[in-house]
Amino acid sequence: MQVNTDAKAYDSINVTPMLDLAYVLLVVFILMTTASVQGLNVSMPKPSNKPSTEKHDLKIVQIAADGAVLVNGIGVTLAELETTLLAAKGRDDKMSVAIKGDGRTHYARVVAVIELCNRLGIDMGLVTARIGT
């Protein structure tokens, strides 16, 4: 095997690998910046400037850690809760219920109250605590 001694030494640097690396870095940068910016666009309703003059009944249903159900601080069974809510709905058709479930209670008790409100057609909401309080 003969070596060609007349071959010219390389005078220039091959920049193709550096350009490949630059393109890869550019693609990674574009993907990372668009991934952090993307989100879900939600159109929030705007409140009216007029305060509501309607006053509707609000019942606060609490489920204690031991599973006891209280309506405005008074202990009741689920059957008594149903009659109480039906009577309140008879007085005010637009009444609502705020459900406060203790974090240590069985979730089935909270679900039972939610299902009762759904069955009776009563507006309800779940009361939660702020994070850090």
Number of domains observed in the structure of the chain: 1
pLDDT tens string 110-129 = 899 999 999 989 888 888 76
**Bridge partners for 8 per DSSP:** none
**Bridge partners for 98 per DSSP:** 60, 125
Asked if the structure places residue 132 within a domain, the reply is: no
CATH number, domain at 71?
Answer: 3.30.420.270
Asked if the structure places residue 3 within a domain, the reply is: no
pTM of the model: 0.57
3-state secondary structure of 90: helix
Question: CB–CB of 66/86 below 8 Å?
Answer: no
Q: What local confidence, expressed as pLDDT, does residue 67 receive?
A: 85
Residue 43 token pair: 């159109």
Q: Hey, what amino acid is at 114?
A: I
Domain around 114:
58-126
